[in-house]
Amino acid sequence: MAVTANPGPPEDAAGGEGADDERLPCGRLLSEVWEQWDTGGTDAHTAGCEYCAAALGDLELLGVAVQRARDTEGAEPESGAGAFTLVERVMDVVRLELRPGRTLPLGEPDEDAWIVEAAAARTFRAAAELVPGVQVGSCRIAPLDLEAPAAGTGTGTGTGTRTAPRGPVRVRIEASVALTWNLQEAADEIRQRIAAAADSALGMEVASIDVNITDVTDVTDGFNGATGGVR
């Protein structure tokens, strides 16, 4: 089921062909670099390439992902299936959060302030998950004006990210909510949290926020979505 308050072009149109798979300046796909690291492999190109090295440098955030996965598990896994589940969760977070994406504008139109999509998406996911009973999945951010020319090629992280034109953006986010929530109210609350984070935490102009409720989960800890708190 889905709650979408701001209909717009399909998500594929927002990111274009291959939007989820960035190509580094060296020609390698970011997904290939991640997969190689994931399997423990290497080659002469990766070993000597500054762009691949910069992409792999983002793995410093892996410690945060590991801690989040352990918190979700509730305990340190010992071995076997538990450890495998932890690794799966960690890699899910890594792939979701560390893909840099395009470079997005911050501040006023005449300012030269930018942020990579992955960092903005992490901010919005964190804000949305402040809503009790909400777990966020995909978060995509794209220029509202898809026809506007790009400002160039981002070089801040060395990972070949595209730079969006300056101007407002559209946010598309997927989330699961607790069974006790009214879906429209949950979507509205998520939207308000993201809008507040965009304004106060980032200084990003967001023109529309599409919230897609992808799942409803059974919550047994006493959460009451109707009142936005706990009984």
pLDDT value of position 163: 63
For 3, other C-beta atoms within 10 Å of its C-beta total 20
The rounded distance, in Å, linking the Cα atoms of 188 and 216 is: 16
User: Encoding tokens for residue 125?
Assistant: 């996911």
User: Encoding tokens for residue 41?
Assistant: 């492999």
Cβ atoms of residues 91 and 97 within 8 Å: no
Q: What residue spans in the chain does CATH classification 3.30.70.1350 cover?
A: 102-231
pLDDT value of position 95: 55
Q: Is 146 helix (H, G, I), strand (E, B) or coil?
A: coil
pLDDT value of position 152: 45
Side chain identity, residue 111 = E
Single pTM value for the model: 0.54
pLDDT value of position 5: 42
The rounded distance, in Å, linking the Cα atoms of 231 and 101 is: 40
Q: Is 7 helix (H, G, I), strand (E, B) or coil?
A: coil
**Cβ-Cβ contacts under 8 Å for 71 (sequence gap 6 or more):** none
What class does CATH assign to 102-231? Answer: alpha beta
Alpha carbon distances (Å) from 42 to 35, 71, 95, 143? 10, 31, 19, 36
Q: Which helix (H) or strand (E) holds 190?
A: helix 183-197
Q: Give, for all 231 residues of the chain, the pLDDT tens digit.
A: 444 444 344 444 444 434 445 677 888 887 788 777 767 777 888 888 888 887 777 655 555 555 555 565 555 445 555 555 555 555 555 555 555 567 888 888 888 888 888 888 889 999 999 999 999 988 989 888 764 544 444 433 344 445 667 889 999 999 999 999 999 999 999 999 999 999 998 899 999 999 999 999 886 444 545 444 433
How confident is the model over 129-167, as pLDDT tens digits? 999 999 998 898 988 876 454 444 443 334 444 566 788
